[in-house]
Chain A
Amino acid sequence: MDVLGISAYYHDAGAAIVSDGKVVAAAAEERFTRQKHDANFPKFAIDFCLQTLGLDARELDRIVFYEEPHLKFVRVLTSALAPFPFSSGAFVRSMKSWLSEKLWIQNDISKRLDVHPNKIEFIPHHLSHAAQAFLGSGFSDAAILTVDAVGEWSCTSLYHGSLNEGLKFELLEEISYPHSLGLLYAAFTGFLGFRPNDGECSVMALAAFGKPTYAEKVRQIIRSEPDGSYRIDQSYFKRDQFGANPFSTKFFDTFGPPRGFKESLPFSCFSDHLSLERTSTNQQRFADIAASLQLVLEETLLNLISKLSRMTGSHNLCLAGGVALNCVANSRIVNESPFEEIFIPPDPGDGGAAVGAATYSYYSTRSDLSNFKLSPFLGKEYDVSESVKLVRSLDIDGWNSHRMRESLPHPEGMRLQTEVYESFPELIPRVVDDISRGKIVGWFQGRFENGPRALGNRSILINPGNIEVAKRLSKTVKQRASFRPYAFSIAEGSAGQVLAPRKKVAHTTKWMQSVEPINESAAPLVKAAIHIDGTTRVQICGFDDNPKYHELLSAYGQAAGLPALLNTSFNESGYPMIASPAEALIVFARTNMDTLVLNNVVIRKST
């Protein structure tokens, strides 16, 4: 039985296919279209899923969409009419897009894929998230918390999932629109000068530089209820503004004027040149607001989780929805919640909800999950032989004219040196040597990751102990703001050398979903990947998780003493992570990346 899951039309469209109980392919549309957070119908992701199984869409048994468009339409209509008579523009705009396209999604899918409409099903948005987390966790019983911007009506849902008498999701409570933690965080993201639904990670990074001096004021907006739930005080927001400037005068009176998107933030996570004295009061205000928001979000999530624990009595917790991408909050949940085991799927956001939709549909009538395993490596695999041909014929003299502005020009007479290795173990020492000598290495192996984290198949790697290389990486490859920290990967078994002792090793460290404090004594070894608060987002990589990457980490450990590499996603700023070898070559050509590894091929710039 083959089931296709689809998510689309809000942000991060994606597709996933489940065949005989296994998720065989899953990918976000952005990886194929090079448009970050692409929300369009995921036709390329669907093509990839179908090609993986060699199927035609008409052969699919079921197609499942990740939300119920008619319910969502009622919510959109309600929120467009509520501010009457000040919302005519918003009403017309939203109705035009809904009446012409989004409301007829069943016909749209049927037409695009040439399948009978009867094959198309819809499941509630938060149930898609819950299914993705619970079914992927391997737990037979768990409390499930899904928190995001908004589904149909629901913004936060509390479920109890169980496999004991067949697959069962019991909805215990839901908090409806407009009481949304995701929307609130996105609104603050805009207030702090970042792009909402994209710059939330910048807010989280900025928070580490501030003190939560505005926490009490944020608590006035996110009001905790005695039972552990919360309400968002709507008086801080304008009802008649959708997105552009959602804040009321009361909000500005409380938090001051917003940050202009071009205003600089002179914070740096590289501790060697931290100078907080240079920051103005205003810049510090933004960091303090970010810190306050982060703190209150964490408190609110912990309250919800305690409530969920009381309601379910379960020892296991599954988290999903866009808010589960907040790795700082996840760490507090791991350390402070009453749950023993915590699971977050590799892509807890909307892209991954396609996985949830497909798996829920497949398993709703079954309870035997022995066939089921959720891996992050569900993306497309590419043949690099064509790329080798391309590299050999490349004329690189013209590259300098098309370089990223911040990159240094390639020296005159630069050539490409290509080495093709028969076996993977032969390649490893060369790559280790390059990293040890301070080179920036693009690492491309096998299937790409499903989800926003680079886990060793589409990564840029450097020595985590070398701050100068990290600065060069930030400036000439990633164009990354200096206050945003890097993450690192470490081979399983050596994590204890670097990470501070913890009560428990959570699953969240497998896929870079939480931050961990670093041992003071080990800090110099990974100083380029530590945030200003002494924590890092870590990937503890076991052999079974990613054998090739584990082999590289181990070999690097033998050469350098610690099997750890600074690991950041393989992309340029403003683009999603790369998918294909050609995209890898584009980044290689435009930036100061020194070495590119495409499966078993190593390409170096040399003079």
Chain B
Amino acid sequence: MKMYLRRFAIRTLIPIVWRISKDRAPATLQRFASTEADSAWQFLNALQADVDDELRNELFNNALEEVHHASEFERMSVECATSLVYKPKPERTALWNPRKPFAHFLAYVYVGESDVYQQFSAYSSAVKEAMTGQKNRRTFFDVAKEDEDGHLTLAKRALFQEFGSRRQAEREILKIRLRRAYQTWLRTSKQLGEVSTTMILGLIYFLAGPVFFLACRRRLK
């Protein structure tokens, strides 16, 4: 249900928003570049784990794919931007933890990649609407979507192998989904809190500003 709602929202809103604001499309593409660069980093970081040759090879190839996605999204962002786009540099949090079983990392990969896969599916359709005549972007979303599907399959297969049982693997996936849902809730609450913070700070600005601005200007002479 959530997936269909999100897909509907993206398909409906993106074409409108991207047409209204020229800055939105490059900023969104830059955000995707940042997400993909983070995924690449996660795979590279996980290469430190003691895993078999086949899995190590697959982790490396996934990292390579994600680096490619990041650079393509970045290129697309530059192509449609009219000015330099802000590059988000979020604080990295390693999903691979040497003190936890490798399956824990795979479960994270599975949940993360399925989320990205859904986003790319929705954007693939939305971009077609938003950028009529600009075929390449849709094609690349499709390519990236297929690659993410491949990562999903890998993560799922390796996850089942590591746990030895489908049920246990699904339980781990559920745990991670719940943890992510909780983090989303925290983020949303923080954003809601920021609305009131913005109002209070705005009020402080208009109360304190008239009193102090001349002194501040003198200090900056």
**Which of A's residues lie within 8 Å of B, judged by CB?**
33-35, 37-41, 43-44, 78-79, 81-85, 87-88, 91-92, 95-96, 99-100, 177-178, 190, 195, 234, 239, 260-262, 386, 389-390, 392-395, 398-399, 401-405, 572, 574, 580, 582-583, 585-586, 589-590
Provided the pairs A261-B84, A402-B64 are in contact, do residues A81 and B209 lie with their beta carbons within 8 angstroms? yes
A405 cross-chain contacts in B, Cβ below 8 A:
71-72, 75
A-B contact pairs, 29 of them (CB 8 A): A34-B40, A34-B41, A35-B37, A39-B89, A40-B91, A41-B91, A79-B216, A79-B220, A81-B208, A81-B212, A82-B220, A84-B205, A84-B216, A85-B206, A87-B205, A88-B202, A91-B201, A92-B198, A92-B202, A96-B197, A96-B201, A100-B197, A177-B220, A261-B84, A402-B67, A572-B71, A574-B71, A582-B47, A586-B40
Q: Report Cα–Cα, A40/B75, bound state, in Å.
A: 25
Q: Report Cα–Cα, A144/B53, bound state, in Å.
A: 54
The answer to whether A92 and B41 touch across the interface, beta carbons within 8 angstroms, is no
Task: Name the CB-closest residue of B to A395.
Answer: B57
The answer to whether A395 and B56 touch across the interface, beta carbons within 8 angstroms, is no
The answer to whether A590 and B64 touch across the interface, beta carbons within 8 angstroms, is yes
B41 cross-chain contacts in A, Cβ below 8 A:
33-34
The answer to whether A393 and B92 touch across the interface, beta carbons within 8 angstroms, is no
Known: A40-B92, A190-B84. 5 other contacts (CB 8 A): A239-B220, A390-B60, A399-B64, A582-B47, A586-B63
A96 cross-chain contacts in B, Cβ below 8 A:
194, 197-198, 201
The answer to whether B71 and A78 touch across the interface, beta carbons within 8 angstroms, is no
B220 cross-chain contacts in A, Cβ below 8 A:
78-79, 82, 177-178, 234, 239
CB of B135 within 8 Å of the partner chain: no
* Nearest CB in chain A: distance from B63 CB, A: 6
The answer to whether A402 and B205 touch across the interface, beta carbons within 8 angstroms, is no
Q: Report Cα–Cα, A598/B205, bound state, in Å.
A: 56
The answer to whether B201 and A389 touch across the interface, beta carbons within 8 angstroms, is no
Task: Name the CB-closest residue of A to B65.
Answer: A402
Q: Report Cα–Cα, A84/B204, bound state, in Å.
A: 12
CB of B132 within 8 Å of the partner chain: no
Task: Name the CB-closest residue of A to B193.
Answer: A100
The answer to whether B216 and A394 touch across the interface, beta carbons within 8 angstroms, is no
The answer to whether A394 and B75 touch across the interface, beta carbons within 8 angstroms, is no
CB of B137 within 8 Å of the partner chain: no
Provided the pairs A44-B92, A195-B84, A395-B57 are in contact, do residues A586 and B64 lie with their beta carbons within 8 angstroms? yes
The answer to whether A261 and B83 touch across the interface, beta carbons within 8 angstroms, is yes
Lowest 10 A-B CB distances belong to which pairs? Answer: A84-B213, A84-B209, A402-B68, A393-B53, A82-B216, A40-B91, A81-B216, A78-B216, A92-B201, A35-B89
A190 cross-chain contacts in B, Cβ below 8 A:
84
B57 cross-chain contacts in A, Cβ below 8 A:
390, 393-395
Q: Report Cα–Cα, A46/B91, bound state, in Å.
A: 14
B205 cross-chain contacts in A, Cβ below 8 A:
81, 84, 87-88, 91-92
* Nearest CB in chain B: distance from A263 CB, A: 12
CB of B111 within 8 Å of the partner chain: no
**Which of B's residues lie within 8 Å of A, judged by CB?**
37, 40-41, 44, 47-48, 53-54, 56-57, 60-61, 63-65, 67-68, 71-72, 74-75, 78, 81, 83-84, 89-92, 194, 197-198, 201-202, 204-206, 208-210, 212-213, 216-217, 219-220
Task: Name the CB-closest residue of A to B199.
Answer: A92
* Nearest CB in chain B: distance from A549 CB, A: 26
Task: Name the CB-closest residue of A to B93.
Answer: A43
Q: Report Cα–Cα, A239/B218, bound state, in Å.
A: 13
Complex partner residue of B201 from A95, A234, A580, CB under 8 angstroms: A95
The answer to whether A389 and B209 touch across the interface, beta carbons within 8 angstroms, is no
Provided the pairs A81-B216, A402-B68 are in contact, do residues A393 and B61 lie with their beta carbons within 8 angstroms? no
Q: Report Cα–Cα, A402/B217, bound state, in Å.
A: 53
* Nearest CB in chain B: distance from A95 CB, A: 5
A234 cross-chain contacts in B, Cβ below 8 A:
220
Q: Report Cα–Cα, A265/B201, bound state, in Å.
A: 44
Provided the pairs A92-B205, A96-B198 are in contact, do residues A582 and B68 lie with their beta carbons within 8 angstroms? no
Provided the pairs A390-B57, A590-B68 are in contact, do residues A78 and B209 lie with their beta carbons within 8 angstroms? no
